[in-house]
Chains A and B, each alone.
Chain A
Amino acid sequence: MITLEHITTSFGHRLILDDISLVFPERSITAITGKSGAGKTTLLGIISGLQNPDRGKVYYLGKNILRWGDIRRSIYRNRVIGFVFQFFNLLPDMTSYQNIVYPARISIFRSGNDIDTSARELIRELGIEEISDNYPTTLSGGERQRVAIARAIINHPKIILADEPTGNLDDHSAKGIISLFKKLRDEQGMTIIAVTHDPRIVEIADAQYHLQNAKLVALKTPRGLKAAVKKKESAKKMTPVKKKTVSGKKIKGKR
């Protein structure tokens, strides 16, 4: 689904990501852990096309998104990616419903009735009917995160980028959100990439990577990853070169 190749980025003289290569398979949950400031959020920014790395490539369905212009990247974010944040980032001057439909309203591929139907369905599925007319300031953390998730999936994205999704939730709410992620992966086939410190998310994740000293260490590798990489390599028909992941395992890549 998403493949990173040789991603290197730095802020000033500080190296944040050093030659990161990684594959996020379809229908999977990937947990990325690491200390604060390790570069986890930067990685999400690069995957979403909001930040450019100093070097490297980000492939979505075989296309390098870093070569795209701003409009195409915007459509990519709107159509392909859903975002979930630690602090929810709901717009305070909009009701829950308005927040949920916001990404659909700015999409040129959605229209009024279609948006309303999707939104009502989502609201029902996530059990937030009663709060749909409430403003975010009147909601609990769990309710806000449910609204944020509804907003993230209103456009039926393929990928969810979650930045500490349970970091600001109580135990009960966190469990609810984690089970929702599982449901999204299993029932809707979404790829979820979560930057997290929460062991419960790591537990349900198909893969876990740890960012340390700008390098990515694979702590749990998803099944089928090798197959996915090979498939991508043969599609590109390039000369194979040996590449090294930070986990010390060798995988085949192409340049």
Chain B
Amino acid sequence: MMNKWSCVLRLSQKDASDLMKNFIWNITSTIKLSLEDVSKNILKSLISSFGILFLIAFLILYMSMRDSIKTYVDKNIFGTLAIDEIKVTMKTKKNFDVFAQNRSTGGIPPRVVRAIKSMPEVKKTYTLVQMDHKSVIKGELLGQKRKIPMPLGTIENDFFRDRDPKWRNLRMTDPIPLVAPRFGIDMINNYLAMNGYPTMPAEGLRGFPLELMVQSTPADFDPKKDYTYNAIIHTVTDDLPFAGVIVPSQFIRAFIAEHGADAPPGERPGVKYLTMYVKVKDIKKLPETTEKIKKMNVQVESQQDVAAKTNKALTIIDGSSWVIIGMFLILTVISIFNSYLTIVYNRSQKFSLRRVLGVPKYQIILGFVLEAAFVGALYGLAGYFAGNALLDSAAEKIGTWVPSLSGVIVKSEGKGVFAMVVILSASISSLSALIPATFAANMNLFKAMRK
């Protein structure tokens, strides 16, 4: 190798020994020269690459919004349904959407409940039943007695098989085990926090004593009759679309059998079927079973159903977002390309001179690309913060813009995305500058020198 290079290198022994030292000095010097170059042209480069700021800011906004919406859908819709499950509710108003609040008022007709239960494709059903009897939960918290009117409901206890390891204990005992809604625990915790006490985890409330008062007569019936039972909190759930407490089904049957006659036959409160969860025997037959149940004039949701609607919504979001991102990208790349091309011609003397004086092409290209990458990284950084600022603003207004998404909690994508957008931005910028850099390295040097 020394022979091959010797005629140009003209190395003496001393040269060779100093080569490493010189090489390090040269690298430092080259970096210094590049930084001098960057500092002299930073303003032009910054102006030329301004589009990246918008691109990255929008990308952050899009990614965070999409993720937040997806999390919301997963948690609020998929999270309550198993893959082989169909959720049946009373048919609601036209244009009911999976993202909207449930506005059904009546129950599922008993004949429909019976028909569904008898379908050969159905393996198992869980029926959420609400008792029409007025009921109140009484409890003592921080030395103060509280009464909260709360409807009673029931569902087959094996509904909780996968949700509560002690699901078998949810049966008629004294005290009566209650499944409280999650929001009830939130209310208790809010009360505790207001009074300066630490909040309680849901598990900590297991066994919390309460009193359950149920009125056997209609609300305005005179004389009204009510009965009080000892109860305890068994577990907490937000898997059921029910704003009351769940009691064992035996309790409701026993109560109606025992006290149903307190009111005359025409005025006796009864029960209504709010929601049915239907498990199918063969998951492949889920679509046709869904279709069959839909024909019974009820609202049906399956994961497939929800997934189709969710995918449709996300496809629209994705499509429109990528169109915008694509437009930003094209405009940014063209803008950077043009600007760097102008910079190349403006600095042609310098590039040509550097080539003439012995700078290899790759160093010219590398210097240019690194300059663009540095500017790109700066914009990536700025775009990240701009995107998050936009995100904060969007988080407040998303409920106004799209009412059905009012429950969406918009969260930033975090540090992983920070690194990604900075790298992406630097890459876009440097790739856009690559062709102008190649022009710079291949300019007709002697023509440029004679300008």
- Asked if A219 is at the interface (CB within 8 A of a chain B CB), the reply is no
The complex places the Cα of A45 from the Cα of B449 at a distance, in Å, of 11
B21 is an interface residue with CB less than 8 A from chain A: yes
**Which of the four size classes fits the interface of chain B?**
35 or more
CB-based contact B8/A110 at 8 Å: no
B401 within 8 A of A: no
Query: Given the complex, which residues of A lie within 8 Å of B451, measured CB to CB?
Result: 87
Question: Cα distance A91–B33 when bound, in Å?
Answer: 13
Are A74 and B446 touching (Cβ within 8 A)?
no
The total number of A-B Cβ pairs within 8 Å is 102
B197 within 8 A of A: no
Query: Are B25's CB and A111's CB within 8 A?
Result: yes
The chain B residue sitting closest to A62, CB to CB, is B7
Q: Say yes or no for A112: interface residue by CB 8 A criterion.
A: yes
B 432-451 contacts with A by CB, 8 A: 445-446, 449-451
Q: Across the interface, do B356 and A70 meet the contact criterion of CB distance under 8 Å?
A: no
Q: A238 on the interface (CB 8 Å rule)?
A: no
B28: nearest chain-A partner, CB-CB: A112
Residues of A within 8 A of B11 (CB): 109
A contact residues around B7 at 8 Å (CB): 60-63
Q: What is the 8 Å Cβ interface bit string for chain B, positions 1-42, against chain A (1 contact, 0 not)? A: 000010111110001001101110110011001000000100
Nearest Cβ on chain A to B381's Cβ, whole angstroms: 28
Find residues 227-263 in chain B having any chain A CB closer than 8 Å to their own CB. Answer: none
| CB atoms of B354 and A85 under 8 A apart | no
Give, as a whole number of angstroms, the nearest-CB distance from B393 to chain A: 43
Residues of B within 8 A of A111 (CB): 18, 21-22, 25-26
**In whole angstroms, what is the CA distance A44 to B29 when docked?**
29
Q: Within the assembled complex, what's the spacing in Å between the Cα atoms of A76 and B361? A: 14
A91/B350 contact (C-beta < 8 A), A70-B362, A71-B360, A78-B357 known: yes
Indicate whether B358 reaches chain A with its CB closer than 8 angstroms. Answer: yes
Contact between chains at A102 and B357 (CB < 8 Å)? yes
Whether a CB of chain B sits under 8 angstroms from the CB of A213 is no
Q: Confirm or deny: B272 has a beta carbon within 8 angstroms of a beta carbon on chain A.
A: no
Q: Count contacts on A: residues with CB < 8 A to the other chain.
A: 40
Question: Are B9 and A50 within 8 A (Cβ)?
Answer: no
- How far apart are A113's CB and chain B's nearest CB, in angstroms? 9
Kindly list chain B residues whose C-beta atoms are within 8 Å of the C-beta of A78. 357-358
B429 at the interface (CB under 8 A from A): no
Specify which chain A residues have a CB less than 8 angstroms from the CB of B327 in the assembled complex.
Answer: none
Contact residues, A47-89 vs B (CB, 8 A): 48, 50-51, 60-63, 70-72, 74-80, 83, 85-87, 89
Complex Cα distance, B441 from A71, in Å, reads 12
Give residues 150-180 of A contacting B (CB, 8 Å).
151, 163
Interface string of A210-222 (1 = CB under 8 A from B): 0000000000000
CB distance from A234 to the nearest CB of B (A): 19
Structural contact, A44 and B21, CB atoms closer than 8 A: no
Knowing A75-B8, A109-B15, A110-B22, the reply to whether A50 touches B358 (Cβ < 8 A) is no
B64 lies within 8 A of chain A by Cβ:
no
Residue of A whose beta carbon sits closest to that of B27? A108
Q: Is B419 an interface residue (CB 8 A)?
A: no
Given A76-B8, A79-B8; 15 other pairs, CB 8 A cutoff: A42-B446, A50-B445, A51-B446, A61-B7, A71-B360, A74-B360, A76-B358, A77-B357, A79-B358, A85-B450, A86-B450, A87-B449, A103-B358, A105-B29, A112-B29
